[in-house]
Amino acid sequence: MVVGRRFVSDFEATISDRVVDPQYSFTAEGGGSRAVMVAVEPWRNPGWTATFAAPDPGRRALSMLLETPSRTGLCVVERGTAFLGDVLEPDGFKVVATPGPVVAAEELVTEGVLLLVTPWAITAVGHAGVPWSTRRIAIDGVRVDEASHGWVRGVADPGDDEPRDFAIDLASGQAVGGTPTT
């Protein structure tokens, strides 16, 4: 896990436990009736609420609100499904295509990228959206250890008898190392 600063945002977002009629509703393919209610308060703009529904990922997955490199970007992760949008355009949130359920996230502020980590690969969120997803780099588990000089490094299959180091070029998403999956 990379520990450091957090992205700066021009809004506040919270998970709401109040039952209200949401202004917006987003459902991923296969999403059921379970949804998280999010209240968003953009600075100098009207606030809004939305529900985000995702399918059951069948494994432990992340659920949280994440800031992005864009000051008005919000990534809502519900049950491992990531929804990305701009809080000033609340009707424009879309599901992020990730190679599996999101199980962890890393905010790399210095590098200007949010990493969505699945058990098999990593997807990047930058200032203007999703620039890349890696190829499959693990059989079952990815651990991000450090980021510097435009690269992120970690271990594929850290719980396996033969864990393998990997490095990802943050500009292109090209991965070196990891577990061979072909």
The confidence score (pLDDT) of residue 18 equals 75
Supply the pLDDT for residue 5.
Answer: 61
129 and 174 Cβ atoms separated by less than 8 Å: no
Mean pLDDT by 10 residues, the chain (182 residues): 71 86 93 89 94 89 95 96 97 95 95 96 96 95 94 95 96 93 64
Confirm if 43 and 8 have CB atoms less than 8 A apart: no
pLDDT given at position 154 = 97
What pLDDT does 58 receive?
Answer: 82
Which residues face 129 on adjacent strands? 126
pLDDT at 1: 42
Question: Quick one: pLDDT at residue 20?
Answer: 76
Domain ranges, ordered by start, for the chain: 11-177
Q: Are 38 and 101 in contact (CB under 8 A)?
A: no
